[in-house]
Chain A
């Protein structure tokens, strides 16, 4: 092949030959490179403002450098512990309750004998994934108000008054449950795919060895979806401080602020509303750095422990 003859030549010759052969490909790729440079790499350069006393008028090159002052301001501010605690709490609750839900649904669906029933359940549970977040949160607002069906039942049972979303202790359950409602079915697809990929002969062999259905589940089914499970878990753990702002912004209000304000919404408010650019960029950078650390760490651990890894 061409490649083997290329080995002896100098780098420059390879470079030139490749360019002549692929120049139209590279020409096609110019807009793509431009897109990534402008919309992905320029913000990475822009995030340097976290180390500056940034003013949009002066730009990155003109603003004064202040080192880690913005980070220190954040770590010392009382908001730091509040938003950190809330982020970890919401993320952890979503992980503990939200992460296993699709797995359980997939396992139960996998055991259903009737094809028709399975398909109906699948279609219904996938559906909420396609409903927009605004509508989902709007529904949450409507149903949990004191006139809404859930809110009315809750108030009758506990004797409390008003909208459930104004009650700080209910914010977390509402957030997690509505998330499960929206994403459980969709999340189960990936596990169902893994379950369908398990070789039938494994079940037959287990049957011959005298394993009942429960034993087969334990020793064939669960190991069969383990790789998928671990990969999804790694991805999820990388997001441990990555509670998104969109849903929180749609659900919180001044009375639940203390329990609902997470790092990303804090960045949003301090940055886009109060316009303290450098400070909020520093908070955001802190957040992505921690996320990247968690992702790398969980990937590394998983690779060491059982050999499944993203890279």
Chain B
């Protein structure tokens, strides 16, 4: 940590065991559904069973009279509150703003997807609420549904919103169309691809839950909710929906059982529960069951794209053009509009020097569950398309797959891409070399032959990728339509006896912030790791924050904490100088001690802290106390990068794909806790492998979810996955003091194309050149059949 003000106590870079684990391993985690408030009522949310209908009468009288029922509310009861807002305004090519219909908390007049909330029933028990809800009589006047991208964009398609002609929310672009088309037209070779990036269900294992509460004596509302970003919820719910000032609205996101993007959005349920608690002046709890989650948690991906890559005789990319349709669902969720635009189109340089790039995206309304961020959010979609296209280019030219990538790597930094981003640092050759060695790429043919002797088709696939993380510089995203800043807040409170409380606006729901952030503070402040506790998840405890998504917590939130520590040290230096009767400039800080340079006279951080709170002998004019807050607005995105290699064996009789090896060589920036970083990589890889081989959220033409439970939506199990071969080659981010980049989304971004490239490679001797995700047994079998029929 030289040059970074570190004190070298060895906490940074150590695989310290997690502080969180003691409670989770003993059943003492405190998740939202574990909380019960005195006098609590239970809510059941009655949801639409049809995808598109005019709502005729909604008769709640029988439900209201049912045993234990305290209240029944429907959409018109909440008509006066604001709509559920969207966090990002996208402009179309012609400069017009996106179509942004009002999103009522509960349906008014019309339902637009299966699972949309029609009524809330509140009763003394959960069963009473559910049973009463069954008595509500709803007159659905069904309308044809636009249940897919194809259906929604077809001529004469049913309109999800009358104001959105052609179901188009926006028609966005990035890059220079003319330049890209000219480059492709003039290219020696071109390859094109049509790909689907299928819809996924996030499936955090903890279902969402919320408890609304209202204290009539103070007028304060409290919402316990399964959120990745409690302050963001307070902002959206308070300012835009219920019109509550921040000091009367407290959001608590306690232990949260995984998010993966699905717990970012401000959900209607949060508004409804808070509002209902106010109406009844009693706590009201709602806990989703899994079937409900399948039709009410935001879903991810769902793109159809066509793209063309032009390249010269040597395989150097000269131009790329991408046209994508992105399914936004029926309503615009919080980050729905930016995921397929500013988290997608700007990724198309990848690690390559392609000089002319153009991407256009149609954001499309459909009668399906709203789509929002899912682990990677836009970047997996871009990476998958690009890395499939690069493999096609290699196949078309006969240039080796590795070689064609290497010929196009960016090697000079900073690098300005044609699609807005400026990469600060990277070494793509290093991660590629590392991955090739670690995966024994060169020894593959022997493995292929050995597999063939067992009747199996073995294939190997690669992807080289970058991602843009650590979102994001507020001014940049503001100029692109973001309606919030994306800075982060950290507070460091050194207590009188030297222990430390750290307050972060990020939220940990598996990432281990309580450990990693404590390591940063212990290291930089020179205190014991055990003396540092990290507080997150409560808007009443933490000054402010934007939350956890986009691999931002360490790069942005960690830096805020680091900067707050620097402020603490700066103040401590003044106190120490006074105590040591030295000038402030002569005080050096290291290993938790303020020392007069060149002497052995020093005061520990503990002594300084005690003095700050017992300021009997104290610098004149200096405030007592030792507590500092920093707001950190990043200067740029961070750019983790890497190479993933996958190896598969296909059973040609059944089409079954077995993933036999996965190798990652990643540059995630400086690593604070290798154990936690590797765990994040493992989880992302499993998510990406799930997309490549197993997971597929499907609707029928009427907009009914076909894959609405774990009986038919395939979640990756332990037996579906191999051990992961994880390797690191680190370059440091140049624009944050920790040198960190981000790691949570790497696997889900990098590995899907490696897996599919491996499947295509395995099947290539049969003439198969294309495979959609997920590469299910049936799809692979069909591809083999089709290839054999052509012979």
A and B: interacting chains: no
Q: Identify the A interface with B (CB < 8 A).
A: none
Q: Identify the B interface with A (CB < 8 A).
A: none
